[in-house]
Amino acid sequence: MPPILHYSHPYTDRQLPCAAFALQGDPLAAGRVINFHDPVQGYAAGSSVSTGANLLIEAFPWVELGVVEAGELRLQGEGFDLQLTAGDCFVVPRGLRVRWHHHGQLRRLFMVFPGLSASTQMPRLPIRIDLSQALAPASPPAASVLLTATPKAWSETLFSAGNLRVGLWQCEAYARKQVEPGYSELMFILEGSVTLRAEQGDSHHVRAGETVIVPQGATNAWVSEETVRKVFCILS
């Protein structure tokens, strides 16, 4: 069973696996560490620490989601100029011509999706996710897995390409049974906290400001005692 990856705080205490995998043709290879690679779904996840960069990337090689943990990053190109700081979450589409630059140390988390089909219709601009955006009512977790009353939920998809969706989700407190997810998901917790209990008994208490990645097949139970708001990145 694949591991649940918990990017807890402080970052110096993290104990994460290191995957024997390297991204081919990676323009941002300096400082990148791959913690998990799924060759079937075609994605990789991990963290990066780099000091200073000023790169003109003519065609970004894949879709990449990033969560800035420390430092500042600027993405510039035709029709966009994004200033990113700690706490920001962003998505860069494949094929984009972009200048990537930062001064000093930049620490970030990432998911990259080189396995997305080249025929996938691709957004033309990068985005910085508006973490305060209003959300529309959404379907709650299925009643068949709930251990508590049905909560109210809200959601909004802000970036999509093929079977990849990135957006915001919010839900009232609830608990559910162990389920085996049929998709992989990154969750960047913005408000509240959640405890994910893996099938083997490992437990991850994920607080606001932390990130967790649940690969496809990583059976887990969910318990939240307050409303949770998160960025989601789902590869189905």
pLDDT digits 0-9 by tens, 179-219: 999 999 999 999 999 999 998 878 999 999 999 999 999 99
Nearest-5° Cα angle at 70, 39 to 113? 20
The answer on pLDDT for 117 being more than 90 is: no
**Among 103, 101, 108, which residue's Cα sits nearest to residue 74?**
101
Write down the pLDDT at residue 27: 97
Domains and CATH numbers, the chain: 5-128 (2.60.120.10), 136-235 (2.60.120.10)
Binned at pLDDT 50, 70 and 90, residue 120 comes out as confident
pLDDT for position 202: 87
pTM listed for this prediction:
0.96
Q: How far is it, in rounded angstroms, from Cα 108 to Cα 211?
A: 11
Residue 92 scores a pLDDT above 80: yes
User: Is the pLDDT at 51 greater than 90, yes or no?
Assistant: yes
